[in-house]
């Protein structure tokens, strides 16, 4: 188990106004700290074109929009075919699966065999992208078509792959509309979240965020 380096106390409100002491544990950075607590992340499936003309699909969870413009990025490693394909083709797709597609996302993570292929991909239904040479995971509620903007190497053995979004496609049932309450939308169309390490959640309940008066992004 990772060494617990240092602990400090913070005060938390308890019942009837009394204070409770909660310990903060400082973890050893020589060990993978993300295995000691849960972090919420999206779960996406990145699609790329293989050198033989086929397509690869791979799940990722270290992924996020990059700023408020049309850019999207995710973490990968040069050892993975996803990284190599994007370097060559300079294009990729992003599929956001629903909770019903979590098994499909898992199949996309299957290792390659001795012939350097992923037989599990044959079980995945896909649909073609509209404007780039790529495919989406069929059934995903949100799809992005991206061209490579830049790759930033050097995060240890990992890299940040940043793409410019060329097209976005959303299932009609998942689209926010002015006459539908956001909570009702999420209840009807739950979102899939990855709880690193190794768990997932279906998000169907939400609450309005208490923005401070005058807040601006």
Model pLDDT for residues 133-151, shown as the tens digit of each residue: 999 999 999 999 999 999 9
What is the pLDDT at residue 214?
A: 86
Domain ranges for the chain, please list them: 4-33, 39-199
125-139, 147-161, 201-215, range with the lowest pLDDT: 201-215
What is the pLDDT at residue 12?
A: 53
Mean local confidence (pLDDT), 86-97: 98
Mean local confidence (pLDDT), 114-139: 89
Mean local confidence (pLDDT), 3-29: 66
Encoded tokens for 24 = 């903060």
SS (HEC) of the chain: CCCEEEEEEEEEECHHHCEEEEEEEEECCCCCHHHCCCEEEECEEEEEECCCCCEEEEEECCEEECCCCCEEEEEECCCCHHHHHHHHHCEEEEEECCHHHHHHHHHCCCCCCCCCCCHHHHHCCEEECCCCCCEEECCCCEEEEEEEEEEEEEECCEEEEEEEEEEEEECHHHCCCCCCCHHHHHHHCCEEEEEECCEEEEECCCCCCCCCCCCCC
User: From CA 91, how far away is CA 197, in angstroms rounded?
Assistant: 29
What is the pLDDT at residue 3?
A: 45
What is the pLDDT at residue 112?
A: 78
What is the pLDDT at residue 18?
A: 63
Q: Report pLDDT digits (tens) over 162-175.
A: 999 999 999 999 99
The fold adopted by the segment(s) 39-199 is Pnp Oxidase; Chain A (2.30.110)
Cβ atoms 192, 106 nearer than 8 A: no
What is the pLDDT at residue 136?
A: 97
What is the pLDDT at residue 21?
A: 76
Mean local confidence (pLDDT), 170-195: 93
Please, what is the average pLDDT of the chain?
90
Residue 127 pairs in a beta bridge with: 136
C-alpha distances in Å from residue 213, one per residue of 82, 113, 210: 43, 56, 9
Assess whether pLDDT exceeds 50 at residue 31. yes
Assess whether pLDDT exceeds 70 at residue 6. no
What is the pLDDT at residue 184?
A: 94
Mean local confidence (pLDDT), 111-118: 76
What is the pLDDT at residue 215?
A: 85
What is the pLDDT at residue 2?
A: 45
Quick one: pLDDT band at residue 111, thresholds 50, 70, 90?
A: confident
């Amino acid at each position: 188990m990772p060494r617990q380096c240092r602990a400090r106390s913070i005060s938390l409100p308890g019942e009837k106004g009394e204070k409770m002491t909660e310990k903060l544990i400082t973890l050893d950075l020589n060990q993978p700290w993300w295995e000691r607590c849960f972090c919420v992340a999206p779960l996406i499936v990145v699609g790329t074109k293989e050198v033989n003309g086929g397509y690869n699909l791979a799940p990722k969870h270290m992924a996020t929009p990059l700023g408020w413009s049309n850019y999207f990025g995710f973490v990968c490693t040069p050892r993975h075919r996803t990284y190599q394909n994007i370097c060559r083709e300079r294009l990729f797709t992003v599929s956001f699966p629903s909770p019903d597609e979590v098994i499909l996302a898992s199949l996309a993570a299957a290792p390659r065999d001795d012939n350097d292929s992923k037989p599990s991909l044959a079980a995945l239904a896909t649909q073609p992208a509209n404007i780039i040479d790529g495919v989406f995971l069929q059934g995903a509620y949100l799809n992005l078509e991206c061209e490579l903007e830049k790759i930033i190497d050097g995060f240890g053995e990992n890299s940040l792959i940043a793409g410019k979004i060329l097209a976005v496609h959303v299932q009609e049932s998942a689209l926010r509309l002015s006459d539908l309450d956001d909570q009702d939308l999420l209840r009807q169309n739950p979102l899939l979240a990855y709880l690193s390490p190794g768990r997932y959640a279906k998000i169907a309940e939400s609450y309005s965020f208490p923005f401070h008066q005058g807040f601006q992004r």
